[in-house]
């Protein structure tokens, strides 16, 4: 059975379009420094990201020190806001792929706050590629809730069958599946391939593989 034509492509941000792991790690270590926590490595940080900054800090400090969460969060946001794209760059093949997807409507849905997501994309010269940029605070619920995906669909006047969701984490795949859109796991990002096994399709090395997936879906 031929599928309905895809008209909208929704992307996760961190770990899918850009590698922001070093800037996030640096901000986290700055935020934690006064409180005696060990220095986090990039490898340790990427295992914890995905559910938003507040949740990241909760995971690191643990329940015993939850009282310092607000201060740590404040320090993180101060530093991160000033160093948003110091080391953050698009993954190989991302800008090329976005250029070749000019015929599609495109959106970003991140669990990073909208203002930071939007500014990050602006600083990297990528914001103009997207018709919608949503963050963790753009809707009452964030991924893995389907609400942000459904919000973009409603804005575009499209059905779930006309959209595709690309992300590197199980949160992206879950949000997409709950919303009823086709899901594509980005296996080059922050999560191991096994975390993406529920996706309809899998990208292994570069976002450029999405072009072949789209051809496969629509022929």
Contact call for residues 142 and 134 (beta carbons, < 8 A): no
Helix (H), strand (E) at residue 77: helix 69-82
DSSP secondary structure string for all residues of 162-209: GEEEEESSHHHHHHHHHHT-EEEEETTSSS-GGGGTTSSEEE-S-TTH
Share of the chain above pLDDT 90, in %: 89
Question: Among candidates 42, 164, 159, 145, which has minimal Cα distance to 97?
Answer: 164
Residue 44: the pLDDT is 95
Cis peptide before 144 (omega within 30 of 0): yes
Answer yes or no: 168 catalytic: no
Residue 126: the pLDDT is 98
Residue 218: the pLDDT is 82
Contact call for residues 109 and 12 (beta carbons, < 8 A): yes
Residue 19 has pLDDT above 90, yes or no: yes
Residue 2 has pLDDT above 60, yes or no: no
Radius of gyration of the chain (CA): 17
Per annotation, catalytic residue among 12, 19, 23, 172 = 12
Neighbours of 120 (CB within 10 A): 25
Q: What is the pLDDT of residues 157-209, one digit of tens each?
A: 999 999 999 999 999 999 999 999 999 999 999 998 888 999 999 999 999 99
Residue 4: the pLDDT is 77
pTM to 2 decimal places: 0.95
Q: What is the pLDDT of residues 58-111, one digit of tens each?
A: 999 988 788 899 999 999 999 999 999 999 999 999 999 999 999 999 999 999
Contact call for residues 17 and 90 (beta carbons, < 8 A): yes
Would strands 89-90 and 105-109 be described as parallel, antiparallel, or unpaired?
unpaired
The three-state secondary structure class of 100 is: helix
Residue 65: the pLDDT is 84
Q: Which domains does the chain have, with CATH numbers?
A: 8-19+90-217 (3.40.50.1000), 21-82 (1.10.150)
């Amino acid at each position: 059975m031929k599928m309905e034509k895809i008209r909208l492509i929704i992307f996760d941000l961190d770990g899918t379009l850009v590698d922001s792991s070093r800037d996030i790690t640096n901000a986290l270590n700055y935020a934690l420094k006064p409180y005696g926590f060990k220095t986090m490595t990039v490898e340790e940080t990427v295992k914890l990201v995905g559910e938003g900054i507040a949740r990241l800090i909760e995971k690191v400090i643990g329940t015993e020190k939850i009282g310092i969460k607000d201060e740590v969060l404040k320090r993180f946001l101060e530093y991160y806001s000033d160093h948003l794209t110091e080391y953050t760059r698009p993954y190989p093949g991302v800008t090329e792929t976005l250029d070749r997807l000019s015929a599609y409507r495109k959106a970003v849905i991140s669990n990073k706050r909208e203002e930071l997501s939007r500014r990050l994309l602006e600083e990297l010269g990528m914001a103009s590629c997207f018709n919608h940029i949503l963050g963790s605070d753009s809707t009452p619920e964030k991924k893995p809730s389907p609400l942000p995906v459904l919000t973009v669909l409603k804005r575009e006047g499209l059905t779930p069958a006309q959209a595709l969701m690309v992300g590197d984490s199980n949160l992206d795949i879950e949000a997409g599946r709950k919303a009823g859109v086709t899901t594509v796991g980005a296996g080059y990002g922050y999560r191991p391939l096994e975390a993406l096994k529920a996706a309809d399709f899998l990208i292994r090395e570069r976002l450029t593989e999405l072009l072949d997936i789209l051809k496969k879906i629509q022929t």
